[in-house]
Structure 1
């Protein structure tokens, strides 16, 4: 059970954590794309201006599957992400305060897609919700709290 005095993480601190996480993911994926496409920025950024076609299986693996596996893994291991850890935040079950399970992690990750579909309304929802939950949090029954650890 979550304590009554728990502090929910607000919108801006979560944006900061997401930016840190995005930098980490880009630092990991862009060198792989650079290596595979031999430095052809048109292929790396999928501009459509390259003379050779993109390799679909590689792009899907690096841009979708790798971030999915990485994110689920760090949520399961640390109940947080590196950006959230640096800012003292933790993702927990909204009812019990326990760490996420794999089902919640997958639902939360997939919940980002509908949350962002229409002008990021489901993400901005964090700023106005009493428990600071975005749609992805509501779908997975999670909250982001300030951690004392």
Structure 2
């Protein structure tokens, strides 16, 4: 996000980055907390994001999950590497909000 403060970046480029971030956040949080329990790509692959009781996650859980994934990406995907070492194959973002990604 620090690149938004670069002086040589145009206002249109900065605005498009912010709009893209907002739309991306809205897409993931709304669809993962909906009855679909997944984004469209996950839905087509039969993958769902659920809580520990196999129920749909709340909007707040989806929100925290999105932002923790975002932070994990910024930190060289360290939160995703934990998938290799946990018994339930959960990333840090899933452990944080107590969600599970399942394939049906």
User: What TM-score range do you get, normalising by the shorter chain?
Assistant: 0.7 to 0.9
* Distance change >3 Å, CA 114–CA 58, structure 1 → 2: closer
d(CA) in 1 for partners of 2:92 and 2:70? 10
1:137 maps to 2:94? yes
The Cα of 1:57 is off from its aligned counterpart by 3.4
**Partner of residue 49, structure 2:** 91
The Cα of 1:119 is off from its aligned counterpart by 2.2
**Partner of residue 127, structure 1:** 84
| Structure 1 stretches of 4+ moved >6 Å | none
| Structure possessing the higher radius of gyration over alpha carbons | 1
d(CA) in 1 for partners of 2:64 and 2:77? 17
CA RMSD of aligned residues (A): 2.0
d(CA) in 2 for partners of 1:116 and 1:79? 22
**Partner of residue 37, structure 2:** 79
SS in 1 for 2:17: helix
**Structure 1: stretches of 5+ with no match in the other structure:** 1-47
d(CA) in 1 for partners of 2:73 and 2:33? 23
**Structure 2: stretches of 5+ with no match in the other structure:** 1-7
**Partner of residue 146, structure 1:** 103
**Partner of residue 22, structure 1:** none
TM-score by length of 2: 0.79
Task: Determine if contact 1:115/1:134 at 8 Å carries over to the other structure.
Answer: no
